[in-house]
Amino acid sequence: MIWNAHYECMGREELRNLQGERLQAMVEKVYFNVPFYRLKLQEKGIEPGDIRTIDDLQKLPFTTKQDLRDNYPFGLFAVPQQEIVRLHASSGTTGKSTVVGYTHNDILMWSEVVARSLTMAGVTKSDIIQVAYGYGLFTGGLGLHYGAEKIGASVIPISGGNTKKQLQLMEDFGSTAIACTPSYAAYLGEALAEEKIDRKNIRLKAGIFGAEPWTEEMRAQIERLLGLKAYDIYGLSEVIGPGVSMECQCQKGMHIFEDHFIPEIIDPETGDVLPYGELGELVFTTVTKEAMPLVRYRTRDLTRLHAETCQCGRTLVRMEKCVGRSDDMLIIRGVNVFPSQIESVLLEMSETKPHYLLVVDRENNLDTIEIQVEVEEQFFSDEVKDLEDLRRRIHANIASLLGLSASIRLVEPGTIERSMGKAQRVVDKRKLK
Amino acid sequence: MIIKQLSVFLENRTGRLTELTGILAENDINISAFSIADTADYGILRMIVGRPDAAADVLRKNGFAVRITDVVGMIVPHKPGGLHKALQIISDNGIAIDYMYAFASGDCKATVVIRADSLDRIIEVLQEHKLELLQAGDVYQL
């Protein structure tokens, strides 16, 4: 099934023409409405008229997450605030989040791409879909919600957590599809195995999972535990949220909705554009978004693109599962974490040295994070209650900044290895590749 | 009257305590008494040693986090009710004890090491009740 065959199966040349037209209009719009972009284009000596076709895309400067932070909160919006109907935000360093805005049309476009995504997973108006992504500032919940409603499916907006209730509604309502993070799907699957629920009452057939890295082994495990077919969905709030790309029934990579989001693969060191099939950093230019258009936004995700027409009939480019990041960002339980954020918390607390080690692991399909922190001798108390209090305060400060519960291990001063060059701050034991 | 106690932060690692006792042995420092407060990840070793300042220096040089804490050594008769009587005096005076540990010295007496916020008050009330206190000079040679 294809939701919008006109765009999803468009000839590559026709698509390139469409992208060129939309790009031209978008560049003109940001040039006149967003001072940040005007300045950047002027620095490169580019005027809107210089961008005529999709081949001119490479002339444009990159935009980075730092640019989004520098323009916090609304600096990159291309429309007056009156036009904004929705705001989402993701976690960011030093307490500042990345804010994204949507106009009414943006919400319609987002619903459209999520509708296409759900259709790829076989979801129709006859389905009952349990949206177990978090609802709120995170784009997962509401993104899937609107797309599912556009299709006409029956939406259960249960949000994340509350596992017993999830299983109960899954049984009582007869949910046929579920959307959540893959780690939560695996957790639900294990909980289902423990509950005394008759498997005949579970009618799930499709799962739409994303927002964090996962493996083929996890896919097989989730499919076995929940008795469904698991699909990978990709997105990032800066670009739109979930629904930037999605796996079709062929599961040969995720189709990028190129009529809205133009992908490029670049060499993260030089910024040079790489041909299809080569591994590099994924870059997106949004050509239809009104509230916050992005020009060549560097996602930091590393992947490859393939442009051959898919067996499903779609001509849209397919991206492979991301193999890593070109920066030091970690995705832990769906939360973006930069080691520098942990460092800033510790620096603010005078008791600890900025020497720390993050140990990330995955136990029972849930990410765990341990932060080893050196205790400064001058603040070392010989009373357990004081040290435990210190541990609790570090835990609380990390939780309030990152929304992540980390286990804190206090270690002796000098025991975390010092290195001359880039400090080894992270040990990631998760085996995802 | 106030005694210097050495407190050392120790991670729960096999052999870590042995490293510490080895360093003290090499430097000819005697341990008179000690206790360990343990948690899942780490422990706090508290000890009364001969030459506490020298001991602290040498441990720091070897990378340990060390702190010198003031404590009181209270001597009680090594017989039933001996500890109870002393503790009764302390609690009757509304003094909270943070932690304590004890060692018997063989001459029908036991020494109890006490850490509290109001050490001066403890010394005062124990002296009022004629309880014997360990002198700094004695203790380091125990």
In a domain, A433, yes or no: no
Residue A279 CA: distances (Å) to CA of A265, A319, A325, A329, A389? 7, 10, 12, 18, 47
Structural domain boundaries of chain B? 2-68, 71-139
Residue B15, SS3 per DSSP: coil
Shortest alpha-carbon distance between residue B67 and chain A (Å)? 7
Q: Which residue has the higher pLDDT, B135 or B30?
A: B30
Are A36 and A92 in the same domain?
yes
Q: Which of A274, A307, A327 is the last residue of a domain?
A: A327
- Per-residue pLDDT tens over the stretch A277-323: 999 999 999 999 999 999 999 999 999 999 999 999 999 999 999 88
Q: Which of A284, A301, A327 is the last residue of a domain?
A: A327
Are A207 and A345 in the same domain?
no
Q: Give the separation between CA A242 and CA A235, rounded to whole angstroms.
A: 4
Shortest alpha-carbon distance between residue B105 and chain A (Å)? 25
**B2-68 and B71-139 have identical folds:** yes
Are A377 and A280 in the same domain?
no
- Per-residue pLDDT tens over the stretch B77-94: 888 998 999 999 999 999
Strands A407-411 and A366-375: parallel
CATH of the domain at A255: 3.40.50.12780
CATH of the domain at A373: 3.30.300.30
Are A180 and A269 in the same domain?
yes
Are A381 and A341 in the same domain?
yes
Decide: B109 and B76 in contact? Cβ < 8 Å.
yes
Are A118 and A232 in the same domain?
yes
Instruction: Compare all CA atoms of chain A with the CA of B69 and give the residue at the minimum distance.
Output: A382
Q: Please write down the HEC assignment for all residues of chain A.
A: CCCCHHHHCCCHHHHHHHHHHHHHHHHHHHHHHCHHHHHHHHHCCCCHHHCCCHHHHHHCCCECHHHHHHCCCCCCCCCCHHHEEEEEEECCHHHCCEEEEEEHHHHHHHHHHHHHHHHHCCCCCCCEEEECCCCCCCHHHHHHHHHHHHHCCEEECCCCCCHHHHHHHHHHHHCCEEEECHHHHHHHHHHHHHCCCCHHHCCCCEEEEECCCCCHHHHHHHHHHHCCEEEEEEEECCCCEEEEEEECCCCCCEEECCCCEEEEEECCCCCCECCCCCCEEEEEEECCCCCCCCCCEEEEEEECEECCCCCCCCCCCEECCCCEECCCCEEECCEEECHHHHHHHHHHCCCEEEEEEEEEEEECCEEEEEEEEEECHHHCCCCHHHHHHHHHHHHHHHHHHHCCCCEEEEECCCCCCCCCCCCCCEEECCCCC
In a domain, A321, yes or no: yes
Shortest alpha-carbon distance between residue A256 and chain B (Å)? 47
Residue B76, SS3 per DSSP: strand
Find, among A211, A154, A146, the residue nearest to A177 by Cα. Answer: A154
Find, among A55, A107, A117, the residue nearest to A83 by Cα. Answer: A107
Question: What residues in chain A have per-residue pLDDT under 50?
Answer: 93-94, 421-422, 433
CATH topology of domain B71-139: VC0802-like (3.30.2130)
Q: Give the separation between CA A131 and CA A145, rounded to whole angstroms.
A: 7
Does B139 have pLDDT greater than 70? no
Question: Is the bond preceding residue A73 a cis peptide, omega within 30 degrees?
Answer: yes
Q: What letter would DSSP give residue B141?
A: T
Are A317 and A349 in the same domain?
no
Q: What is the pLDDT of residue A421?
A: 47
Are A243 and A354 in the same domain?
no
Q: What is the pLDDT of residue A93?
A: 45
Q: Give the separation between CA A25 and CA A48, rounded to whole angstroms.
A: 9
What kind of architecture, by CATH, is found in domain B2-68?
2-Layer Sandwich (3.30)
In a domain, A342, yes or no: yes
- pTM greater than 0.90 (yes/no): no
Instruction: Compare all CA atoms of chain B with the CA of A414 and give the residue at the minimum distance.
Output: B63
Buried b (16+ CB within 10 A) or exposed e, B49-68: bbbbeebbebbeeeebbbbe
Residue B21, SS3 per DSSP: helix
Q: Count Cβ atoms below 10 Å from residue A180 Cβ, excluding itself.
A: 29
Domain total in chain A: 2
Q: Give the separation between CA B113 and CA A382, rounded to whole angstroms.
A: 14
In a domain, A144, yes or no: yes
Instruction: Compare all CA atoms of chain B with the CA of A370 and give the residue at the minimum distance.
Output: B41
Q: What is the pLDDT of residue A419?
A: 54
Q: Give the separation between CA A184 and CA B45, rounded to whole angstroms.
A: 42
Q: What is the pLDDT of residue A67?
A: 94
Q: Which residue has the higher pLDDT, A344 or B38?
A: B38
What mean pLDDT comes out for the span B14-26?
94
Q: Which residues of B touch A380 (CB under 8 A)?
A: 7, 9, 65-67
Q: Which residues of B touch A384 (CB under 8 A)?
A: 37, 39, 44
Q: Which residues of A touch B64 (CB under 8 A)?
A: 412
Are A303 and A400 in the same domain?
no
Shortest alpha-carbon distance between residue A424 and chain B (Å)? 21
Instruction: Compare all CA atoms of chain B with the CA of A376 and give the residue at the minimum distance.
Output: B65
Distant-in-sequence, close-in-space partners of A111: CB < 8 Å, separation ≥ 6:
A146, A147, A149, A150
ipTM confidence score: 0.82
* Pair of tokens at residue A166: 């999830």
Residue in B7, B11, B41 nearest the CB of A382: B7
Among A382, A384, A412, the residue to mutate for chain B (most B Cβ within 10 A): A382
Residue in A381, A409, A412 nearest the CB of B64: A412
Give me the domain span that covers residue A136.
5-327
Q: Which of A305, A327, A349 is the last residue of a domain?
A: A327
Q: Give the separation between CA A26 and CA A222, rounded to whole angstroms.
A: 41
Are A201 and A70 in the same domain?
yes
Q: Count Cβ atoms below 10 Å from residue A5 Cβ, excluding itself.
A: 11
In a domain, A259, yes or no: yes
Are A26 and A168 in the same domain?
yes
Are A375 and A399 in the same domain?
yes
Q: How confident is the model at residue B140 (pLDDT cuts 50, 70, 90)?
A: low
